[in-house]
Structure 1
Amino acid sequence: MTDLKTAASAVRENAYAPYSNFKVGAALRAASGRIFSGCNVENVAYPEGTCAEAGAIAAMVAAGETELTEVYVIAESPAPVPPCGGCRQKLAEFGKGEVKVTLATTSGAEQVTTIAALLPGAFGSAHMAGV
Structure 2
Amino acid sequence: MEELYETAKAKLYTVRTSRNGKMGHVAAALVTDRGNIYTGVALDLPSSIGFCAEHSAIASMVTDGEYKIDKIIAVYETGEVLPPCGRCRELINQVGEDNYHCEIGLPDNRTAELDELLPERWDAKYFI
Which residue is equivalent to 2:84? 83
Listed one character per residue, the Cα deviations across residues 36-72 of structure 1 (whole Å, up to 9, x for unaligned) are 0111012221x22110000000000001111111111
Runs of 5+ consecutive residues of structure 2 not aligned to the other structure: none
TM-score relative to the length of structure 1: 0.77
Aligned-pair CA distance for 1:85: 1.0
Within 5 Å, give how 1:110-129 maps onto structure 2.
110-124=109-123, 127=126
Which residue is equivalent to 1:98? 101
Which residue is equivalent to 2:40? 38
Aligned-pair CA distance for 1:83: 1.2
Task: Identify if the C-alpha distance between structure 1 residues 84 and 41 changes in structure 2 by more than 3 Å, giving closer, same or farther.
Answer: same
Runs of 5+ consecutive residues of structure 1 not aligned to the other structure: none
Which residue is equivalent to 1:48? 49
Question: CA separation in 1, counterparts of 2:123 and 2:78?
Answer: 31
Count residues in correspondence: 122
Q: Is the 8 A contact 2:9 2:79 kept in 1?
A: no
Which residue is equivalent to 2:30? 28
Which residue is equivalent to 2:72? 71
Q: Is the 8 A contact 1:17 1:41 kept in 2?
A: no
* Runs of at least 4 residues off by over 6 Å: none
Q: What one-letter code is carried by the residue in structure 1 that aligns with 2:83?
A: P
Q: What one-letter code is carried by the residue in structure 1 that aligns with 2:119?
A: P
Task: Identify if the C-alpha distance between structure 1 residues 112 and 101 changes in structure 2 by more than 3 Å, giving closer, same or farther.
Answer: same
Let me know the Cα RMSD of the aligned residues.
2.6
Tell me the percent identity.
Answer: 27
SS at match of 2:88: helix
Task: Identify if the C-alpha distance between structure 1 residues 111 and 20 changes in structure 2 by more than 3 Å, giving closer, same or farther.
Answer: farther
